[in-house]
Amino acid sequence: MNIHEYQAKQIFANYNIPIPTGKMIKRAEDAKTAAQEIGGNIWAVKAQIHAGGRGKGGGVKLARNLEEVEKYASEILGMTLITHQTGKAGKLVKKVYIEGGVDIQKEFYLGIVLDRTAEIPVMMASTEGGMEIEKVAAETPGKIVKIAIDPLIGFQGFHARELAFGMNLPKIQTRSFSKFAKALYEVYSKNDASLIEINPLILNEEDQFVALDAKMNFDDNALFRHQSIEAMRDLNEEEPTETEAKKYGLSYVKLDGNVGCMVNGAGLAMSTMDIIKYEGGEPANFLDVGGAASAETVAKGFEIILEDKNVKAIFVNIFGGIVRCDRIAKGILEATKKTEVGVPLVVRLDGTNAEEAAIILDNADIEIIITASDLADGAKKVVSAAKGAK
Ligand code: ADP
Ligand code: MG
């Protein structure tokens, strides 16, 4: 799960990590009051969406008086912000964060992410703050200092010194940086985060480190023990079909292709996507209907897949282990009655009662259903059906 910058900063503040004072608003009329309460004479007006690169897209503006604060807030609220992380469609801005403008002496990058190869968290720091860190990593990897942190030992002084040394920080800044980095690791581990990114982390005129941006992702499987974080979920920012799928115990991820996939089991779903690509197609989604696939879940699965107007054909690839193929076949027939499918449906049912299933599908004689003998055959058929469809 992701949260907004203003929410991540609230969490930071609870751990005494310095942030500028700020207020989230949803209506431009509230902008001036918010800025007055924050105080000072310069403010940053920042779009709150679950994507980075807002500044370049026009979603972050510096206001030098209250009129400008209101003007920028009204321009940003309701705008469709397009950044390199939003995709072409962009994201509608419904919330704006107003915060005190900070004098920046220098910009840095600081992040923590779970390193899946090392199997422990890695803290990364760089003097190249404000830039896209992926670009720094690709072009000047030497400018990123990384340390792995054993969670059983936690964040230690030597970790902080290694990072500070790697960034050539003078001694006076090293102490302030160490305190900051230690607190950030606390935030990461205590909240079961999977990623924290501060870009830029800045050094202000008083040689104090301040988080100017904040991005946090959390491990969904640990959310049950962090109700206050779960409460920060913003459904506006999530793919509506993915949220709908979750309600029915389906695990769905929308992708960009045109071949819909309905599969039981995450592993089989992954290999189905692979083989579709191998045959020259592009999967439109990942969908795992789970072990207990039934007529209802199959029907719901079709509905969710078909919400995506790019879908030109669907591949149903079910392996009957616990579920019996004949029941799935009946489920598919029922589902086609409940939901107007309207695109070719390539069905591969294998495993328990596969022969009975084949008979059921053949006898039903439904025009859109194309049966497949195995995975490769199904992939070939669905890719050509998707290509053939208008
Ligand atoms: P994004 O990464 O989505 O573009 P940031 O929060 O990093 O958004 O803001 C973009 C840039 O705007 C920052 O790199 C910084 O230069 C400037 N900025 C952001 N917040 C403030 C602030 N409170 N005071 C001064 N400048 C700011
Ligand atoms: Mg940023």
d(CA 355, CA 360): 9
pLDDT in tens, 158-170: 999 999 999 999 9
d(CA 70, CA 30): 8
d(CA 108, CA 128): 6
Strand-pair partners of 251:
288
Least confident of 155-164, 254-263, 322-331: 322-331
- Label the pairing between strands 345-351 and 369-371: parallel
Of 213, 215, 216, 237, the one to substitute when testing ligand 1's pocket (max ligand atoms within 8 A of C-beta) is 213
pLDDT at res. 292: 67
How far away, in angstroms, is 8 Cα from ligand 1 center?
A: 15
Out of 72, 97, 109, 252, pick the active-site residue.
Answer: 109
Q: What is the dihedral of CA 142, 51, 117, 287, to 10 degrees?
A: -150
pLDDT in tens, 259-298: 999 999 899 999 999 999 999 999 999 999 887 677 788 8
- CATH topology assigned to domain 242-386: Rossmann fold (3.40.50)
- Ligand 1 pocket, 50 CB below 6 A? no
CATH code of domain 9-19+103-238: 3.30.470.20
- Classify 194 as helix, strand or coil: strand
118: Cα separation from own chain's centroid: 22
Q: Give CA separation, 359 vs 253, 334, 344, 362, in Å.
A: 32, 16, 19, 5
Q: Give CA separation, 281 vs 132, 199, 272, 284, in Å.
A: 31, 37, 11, 10
- Ligand 1 pocket, 58 CB below 6 A? no
Q: Would you place residue 74 in the very low, low, confident or very high pLDDT band (cuts 50, 70, 90)?
A: very high
- What CATH number does domain 21-101 carry, 3.40.640.10, 3.30.1490.20, 3.40.50.300, 3.40.1190.20? 3.30.1490.20
pLDDT in tens, 86-143: 888 899 999 999 999 999 999 999 999 999 888 999 999 999 998 888 899 999 999 9
Nearest to 158 by CA among 167, 169, 147, 168: 147
How far away, in angstroms, is 199 Cα from ligand 2 center?
A: 4
- Ligand 1 pocket, 351 CB below 6 A? no
d(CA 390, CA 387): 8
Q: Is the pLDDT of residue 390 over 50?
A: no
CB 193 within 8 A of CB 217: yes
CA angle 107-83-14, nearest 5°? 50
Q: Give CA separation, 377 vs 39, 49, 276, 389, in Å.
A: 67, 43, 11, 18
Q: Is the pLDDT of residue 203 over 50?
A: yes
* Count of other CB atoms within 10 angstroms of residue 243: 12
Least confident of 20-24, 45-49, 240-244, 306-310: 240-244
Rg for the chain, CA atoms, rounded: 25
Q: Would you place residue 389 in the very low, low, confident or very high pLDDT band (cuts 50, 70, 90)?
A: low
d(CA 72, CA 60): 9
- Classify 2 as helix, strand or coil: strand
Q: Is the pLDDT of residue 245 over 80?
A: yes
Domain boundaries, the chain: 9-19+103-238, 21-101, 242-386
Q: How large a percentage of the chain has pLDDT more than 90?
A: 82
Residue with tokens 């591949």: 315
Least confident of 63-67, 130-134, 222-226: 130-134
Q: What is the dihedral of CA 105, 107, 111, 117, to 10 degrees?
A: -140
Give residue 312's identity as a one-letter amino acid code: K
Can 197 be counted among the known catalytic residues? yes
Can 279 be counted among the known catalytic residues? no
Out of 99, 197, 237, 303, pick the active-site residue.
Answer: 197
- Ligand 1 pocket, 200 CB below 6 A? yes
How far away, in angstroms, is 259 Cα from ligand 2 center?
A: 35
Q: When comparing pLDDT for 103 and 322, which is higher?
A: 103
* Count of other CB atoms within 10 angstroms of residue 106: 16
